[in-house]
Amino acid sequence: MSGFDNFNTDFYQSSYSVDDQNQAGYGYSNTENPYNKPYGQYDYSQPMAYSSPGMMPPQQPYTGQIFQPTQTYTPSQSQSMYSSSFDDEPPLLEELGINFDHIWQKTLTVLHPMKVADGSIMNETDLAGPMVFCLAFGATLLLSGKIQFGYVYGISAIGCLGMYCLLNLMSMTGVSFGCVASVLGYCLLPMILLSSFGVLFSLQGMMGVILTAAIIGWCSFSASKIFISALAMDGQQLLVAYPCALLYGVFALISVF
């Protein structure tokens, strides 16, 4: 055992003493350790150096005012343009091509045959009014016990196609199919009055024949007036009114019989 104690003592012999801790710590022998100063001698005004990689740097103090936070987020230019683009967009009805002012002016032009038609307005492809008038015409026929919605839409499509081909042959500027359908649909409004009269009394007598002829003339005259105004077809109103009268005559036959 004595040999083992002598071996253990020789194994742990070292020149290190406790006094050396104040001079060097963990390899920093040439640098003064600021943490070894006695209490009251440390300079707290100087910032602390965080040289260890595992330690977090101190947070910056809050310099703003209470209840008045500083602006930390500013929207980018693309986001501000995207948010302001909704204010510059036109209304939904205008995007769909529905203008109630133009619809009212076209309706007044049809109801007043002697009124001069505005060619710029009549040249628009507005189908909102014609669809409403076709539905109203079918509804008044339904009140008379006639379910003729298929005939109304079928004759309208064939008539618009025929007038489209005819007007493109007669006019120098040409016309679109939507414009032809819009004008013929608006001029169907007097035919709704005829079908409404058919709900109240029979149109197969002499009074009905006279009323039917007047309504056909009213529709064809209004349609031809709008066509020559929109297409600048001066002196050709009678040539345009004749095929229009044939088309509205078919609608009148549906109303009478």
Q: Is residue 158 part of a domain?
A: yes
Q: Is residue 10 part of a domain?
A: no
Q: Is residue 99 part of a domain?
A: no
Q: Is residue 43 part of a domain?
A: no
Res 54 pLDDT > 80 = no
pLDDT digits (tens, 9 = 90+) for 106-115: 888 888 878 8
| Domain that residue 179 falls in | 124-256
| Residues 6+ positions from 170 with CB-CB distance below 8 Å | 233, 236, 239, 240
Torsion of CA 17, 18, 19, 20, to 10 degrees: 70
C-alpha to C-alpha distances, 6 to 3, 12, 14, 73, nearest whole angstrom: 5, 10, 15, 74
Res 27 pLDDT > 50 = no
What pLDDT does 155 receive?
93
- Amino acid, single-letter form, for residue 41: Q
Q: Read off the pLDDT band of 28 (50, 70, 90).
A: very low
Say how many domains are in the chain: 1
pLDDT digits (tens, 9 = 90+) for 214-254: 999 999 999 999 888 888 788 888 999 999 999 999 999 99
